[in-house]
Every structure is written in C-alpha cells, then in structure tokens.
A and B are shown apart, each in its own frame.
Chain A
Amino acid sequence: MSAAILEARSVTKRFGGLTANEDVSLVLAGPVGQVVSVIGPNGAGKSTFFKMLAGFLKPSSGQVLLHGQDITGMPPHRIARLGLVRTFQETTIFPDLTAMEHVSLAHQLHREANDLEVVLGMARARGDEVRLGESALEILELMDLASVADVAARHLPQGLLRLLGMAMGLAARPQVLLLDEPYAGLNPEETNRAVAITRKVAASGVSVLLVEHDMKAVMAISDRIHVLYFGKKIAEGTPEEIRNDPKVIEAYLGQEDEELGL
C-alpha cells in the first residue's frame, strides 16, 4: 500500500448543504517525477480538492495519505515539512524584493538558526543566508530564472512571476508539488515556456500534481489525468484515454472543441 506517494481515499467535502467533493479518490504512485493533472469544468471542485490535499481545508470525510502517513487535517506548514507543497494562482509577493530574495525566504524549512539567532544576526544565521542564497540560485537556474535573480519582482512580467511562485514552492524541497492553475492568464508563448519548465522540475525528481484549465497544456504535459465533474470523479487515465472517454466528452459538451484540445 505504501508504494503510493500521495493518496486521497474517498475524500468528501460539504459546505452546509453543498457537496463540493464527493468520494474523490486519487493515487499518485509509480516512478517519481510524473505530472498528473486534475481537470474539470468550472465549479467541478478542483480547487476544493487541492486545498484538502495541502491542508488548507479539512475534509468532511475521507483520508489523505502522504507516503502512507495520514495527513488528513494537518496544518499546511506540517504537510509542507513532510514533503507536499502547494503553490498559488495569485503570486502575491513583495514588489521590492528580488527574485532570489523571494526564493531564499521560501527556504523557511531549511534554516539552521533559530529565531533568536536570526534577530541577533549570529554566525549560524549569517551562514544560513549564504547557504540558502546558493540553494535559491540553484532553483532559479533550474527554472531558467537565473538571469533575473537580482531583478525586483515589480519589474517581472506575469509569466515569470508565475514561475517565481513555482520556484518558491520548490524552495521547501517537496517530493510532491501541487500547482494551482499554473498557466492561467499566460500567453501561448509563456505557457509553452512554463510547460517546458514544469517538465524539467518533474524530471528533477518532484512529482507534480496540477489543476489547470488550459486543455492544450494539460494534454501536452500530463502523464495521467483525473476528471472531476460536479464534485465527483468521472474519469481517470492517460491523455489519450481521457480524450476519447465518452463521459468526459459529455461533461464538456457544449464547450468548444478547441478548449478540450480535441
């Protein structure tokens, strides 16, 4: 059973009378470095599902397991420590800090100095700054952001900010990275670049689970796709299988074929 990296078992979430997720199960197993997507029309409960995986919402019932350990209802910072990190759609960041300072800050889990040593500026805290700065630079290199490492975030275009958000997630050195609509609002060129970088991140040994609207990107990048519809999972499979699944086509009926990437 413990072969699974991440497993959601019959997760259900109710908000009052509304059932946002009903009995959703998902297994992320197999070799590390896979890219798995969760798709579905608007209001299908994708975001709710993601929030429950990362601990930002507590499921009404069901379990979430990370490497076989029950993480249901744990606070997000503890889940992050165990290796599952979520990034955000809106990259709220400091306009005045550079890209590198952002990623260095996000190394919260890998500090050696305690808070008092940090405030007093003691040797261990200064050592942290050097070490974490180097680690931040490595992450920026992986993300093709090294050239803007010293640029203040307010001067970065939207496409790069999205990648910066991903880089901050990587700073926690997760085994599983949850990306919440990483390509929303990007132009095709930016999307292609972000997709390529997502692949690179996965290849570096991080399993990526993403929620995304951009079907073309999802079809191009995913090893496996899960489809949610009105809070329930209606299909799971490879992009090819999903593309030809009658239930999925029905769920998306009325939408432009273009959107499905058919």
Chain B
Amino acid sequence: MNPLKKRDLFIALGFLVVLLLLPLAVGHSRYLLSVLMNCAGLSLIAFGVWLTFTIGRINICQAGFALIGGYTTAIVLSRYGLSFWVALPLSALVAAAIGALIGSFILKLRGIYFSMLTISLTEAIRLAFLNGGDFTQGSKGITGLPQPFGGDSPLPMYYLAVALLALGLLVTWRVYYSRLGRIFRAMRLNEDLAESFGTNVWRYRVVAFAIACALGGLGGAYFAVFTQSVYPQSFTVEHSIYYMLYCFLGGLEFVSGAMVGAFVLTILFELLSQFQQYQTLVYGILMIAVILVLPNGLVAIRAAVKESRA
C-alpha cells in the first residue's frame, strides 16, 4: 500500500477507535460528550467539502446543504411524525438531489467564480428557509424535535454521532481510493486530459457534488436532532467557511484531513472559550497561516518536516 494511504488509514482507524473508547473515560461528562458529538457532526459535513476539493472546486455552500438536511428532518419529524430513521436517509437524498440539480448548472465554473457563487448559494438557501412561511416557520425555526433515543443517557446519541462519522469516512474513503477518486483527481489536474480519454467530466462533477451534498444533508439532519431544533441561522456562510478551513487545516491529500481539522479546531475553541468572540478573527488568521506554512495540512506534517530536513 502507498505510504500516504497507509498513514491516512492509520489516522482514520485510530480516530474511530479512540472515539469508541472515550466514553469509558469521559462518559460521566455530558459536556465533554457533547463537544465530541459536535466534532463528529462537523466532520461529517466537512467530508463533503473535502470531496468537492478532489474535483478541484472550493465548495462554500455546504452549510446550505446542511440546512436543507436539517429542515428535511425537522419537517418530516414534526409535520409528518415519521421516524428519525426515515428522516435521516431522506435528508441525504433531498440534499443530494438538490445538489445535483444546482450543481449541473454551476459546476462549469471554476476557481474563484465557483467559490463566490457557492457563498451566495449558502445565503440564498438560508433566505429560502427564512421566507418559507408556515412550512419552515420563518425565523422562529422548527423546535422541540424528538430525539431518536429515549432514556436519560447521552450515550446512544453519542454512538449515533460516531456511527455517522464512520459512515461519512467510509463513503469518502471508498470514493477517493477507488477508480472514481482517481477520475476526480484527474479532473482536478486537467479536465481536458480527463475528457480526452473518454471521461464525461460534466457527469462526474455532478456525481462528486451530489455525494458531497448528501454528506452535508446527513450532517444537518444529525444536528437537527442533536440540538432538537433547526433555524435559518443554524448553518450560515460563516459555517461554510469553517468547513473549508477544517479541510485546509487537516490536509487535502488525506481523507482523514477533514476530520482532523474539524476536531482540532473545535476542541481548540472549547479550550479557549473565553476567546469565543474572536473566533472568526482567529479562524481567518489561522487560514492564512495554514496556507502559507502547512499547505498540505496537519496530517502531512511529518512528511513536511522530513522534506525540510532532507
């Protein structure tokens, strides 16, 4: 196995094992568990952004698709009274379908043009839910959603979060390390070259984007039941930018990058909670620093050190 892939696998499996075992140590603390659950949900959403990077597009609309997933779950639960286990896959499907539809028009754009359009898309989706009338309850949002598990213990919800994280990781892993992922990377390197040997570039861009949106929708659905509510403000442009930063920080060449970035940044800010109001500022500075100093992200840090010594 390629050494880079080996390291990726090592980190990914290590993360999952630690997450599975951590409740033994911190299971008594609802606060610590909720921080981890937050990280897991954010990672799930960030995997989608990471996957869009593999086709060479900077995706800043993932919060919009998380919102779509969150509202799908909220509406299905509150209005139709269906089970969360129906709402969850449905949220992913709705987000993927809307993503495929929008993506088939906007994915022609590249670079800064695509990114700017996706920023506005996040905002457009938020406004759509804000003005959705009775159906979305406007700025009041949809609250009082039932959690899928009864009882008082937070552990079932925690393991749901870990399971969804594992699912997101598995999907991203299988896509990236298969022939499909190589086609995506070929498109990132040179779309004309990929097209020249018969790749329907348009189709694969839409496929990649739809999978990304499905992961966003899944994450949104999870947060809707985790916080038992969803508002138009639940996922905004700011969040879209954070997801991108997680990927940058963790590393774009490793599937585990999105997850490492999400955990590191989220936990860091819990530790520095008195600086919470400067979060955006710090994230901004961090983003610049990461791009300058660690262009391949945290996961690649050992390789970077080795290379600089050599």
Q: How many Å from the CB of A15 to the closest CB on chain B?
A: 18
Contact B198 A118 (CB under 8 A): no
Contact B178 A80 (CB under 8 A): no
Is A87 among interface residues, defined by CB-CB distance under 8 A? Answer: yes
Q: Assuming the A-B contacts A77-B200, A96-B4, are A108 and B193 also in contact, with contact meaning beta carbons closer than 8 angstroms in the complex? A: no
Residues 57-71 (chain A) with a chain B CB within 8 angstroms: none
Report B's interface with A, CB cutoff 8 A: 2, 4, 171, 174-175, 178-180, 182-183, 185-186, 189-190, 192-202, 207
Given the complex of chains A and B, what is the CA–CA distance between A94 and B196 in angstroms?
Answer: 16
Chain B residue nearest in CB terms to A86: B196
Taking residues whose C-beta sits less than 8 angstroms from the other chain, chain A's interface range is 35 or more
Q: Assuming the A-B contacts A108-B183, A108-B199, A169-B197, are A56 and B192 also in contact, with contact meaning beta carbons closer than 8 angstroms in the complex? A: yes
Given the complex of chains A and B, what is the CA–CA distance between A76 and B193 in angstroms?
Answer: 10
Contact A172 B193 (CB under 8 A): no
Instruction: Name the residue in A87, A97, A105, A121 with the highest tally of chain B Cβ atoms < 10 Å from its Cβ.
Output: A105
Contact B182 A105 (CB under 8 A): yes
Q: How many Å from the CB of B191 to the closest CB on chain A?
A: 10
Contacts of B194 in A (CB 8 A): 108
Contacts of B193 in A (CB 8 A): 88, 92, 168
Contact A125 B196 (CB under 8 A): no
Contacts of A171 in B (CB 8 A): 197
Number of A-B residue pairs, CB cutoff 8 Å, is 80
Return 17 A-B CB contacts under 8 Å, by A number: A75-B200, A75-B202, A76-B195, A77-B195, A77-B198, A80-B196, A80-B198, A85-B198, A92-B190, A93-B189, A96-B4, A101-B182, A118-B178, A119-B180, A125-B178, A168-B193, A172-B196
Chain B residue nearest in CB terms to A109: B198
Contact B198 A81 (CB under 8 A): yes
Q: How many Å from the CB of A203 to the closest CB on chain B?
A: 22
Given the complex of chains A and B, what is the CA–CA distance between A115 and B202 in angstroms?
Answer: 14
Given the complex of chains A and B, what is the CA–CA distance between A86 and B196 in angstroms?
Answer: 6
Contact A108 B180 (CB under 8 A): no
Instruction: Name the residue in A54, A77, A115, A118 with the highest tally of chain B Cβ atoms < 10 Å from its Cβ.
Output: A77
Q: Assuming the A-B contacts A92-B189, A94-B189, A96-B2, are A85 and B196 also in contact, with contact meaning beta carbons closer than 8 angstroms in the complex? A: yes
Report A's interface with B, CB cutoff 8 A: 54, 56, 75-77, 80-81, 85-88, 90, 92-94, 96-97, 101, 105-109, 111, 115, 118-121, 125, 128-129, 168-169, 171-172
Contacts of B207 in A (CB 8 A): 115
Contact B196 A169 (CB under 8 A): yes
Given the complex of chains A and B, what is the CA–CA distance between A88 and B191 in angstroms?
Answer: 12
Q: Assuming the A-B contacts A96-B4, A105-B179, are A121 and B196 also in contact, with contact meaning beta carbons closer than 8 angstroms in the complex? A: no
Given the complex of chains A and B, what is the CA–CA distance between A208 and B196 in angstroms?
Answer: 15
Contacts of A90 in B (CB 8 A): 190
Given the complex of chains A and B, what is the CA–CA distance between A54 and B182 in angstroms?
Answer: 23
Contacts of B4 in A (CB 8 A): 96
Contact B179 A77 (CB under 8 A): no
**Besides A106-B197, A107-B197, A108-B197, 18 other CB < 8 A contacts?**
A76-B192, A80-B195, A80-B198, A85-B198, A88-B196, A92-B190, A92-B193, A94-B186, A97-B182, A105-B183, A105-B186, A109-B197, A118-B179, A119-B175, A121-B174, A125-B179, A128-B179, A129-B179
B192 contact from A88, A106, A118, Cβ within 8 A: A88
Given the complex of chains A and B, what is the CA–CA distance between A65 and B221 in angstroms?
Answer: 52
Contacts of B183 in A (CB 8 A): 105, 108
Q: How many Å from the CB of B176 to the closest CB on chain A?
A: 10
Contacts of A109 in B (CB 8 A): 197-198
Given the complex of chains A and B, what is the CA–CA distance between A118 and B196 in angstroms?
Answer: 21
Q: How many Å from the CB of A96 to the closest CB on chain B?
A: 7
Q: Assuming the A-B contacts A92-B189, A93-B189, A94-B189, are A115 and B180 also in contact, with contact meaning beta carbons closer than 8 angstroms in the complex? A: yes
Contact A120 B174 (CB under 8 A): yes
Contact A168 B197 (CB under 8 A): yes
Given the complex of chains A and B, what is the CA–CA distance between A129 and B179 in angstroms?
Answer: 9
Chain A residue nearest in CB terms to B2: A96
B197 contact from A56, A80, A119, A129, Cβ within 8 A: A80
Given the complex of chains A and B, what is the CA–CA distance between A211 and B4 in angstroms?
Answer: 39
Given the complex of chains A and B, what is the CA–CA distance between A176 and B195 in angstroms?
Answer: 16
Contact A119 B174 (CB under 8 A): yes
Contact B199 A118 (CB under 8 A): no
Given the complex of chains A and B, what is the CA–CA distance between A125 and B178 in angstroms?
Answer: 9
Given the complex of chains A and B, what is the CA–CA distance between A86 and B207 in angstroms?
Answer: 25
Chain A residue nearest in CB terms to B173: A119
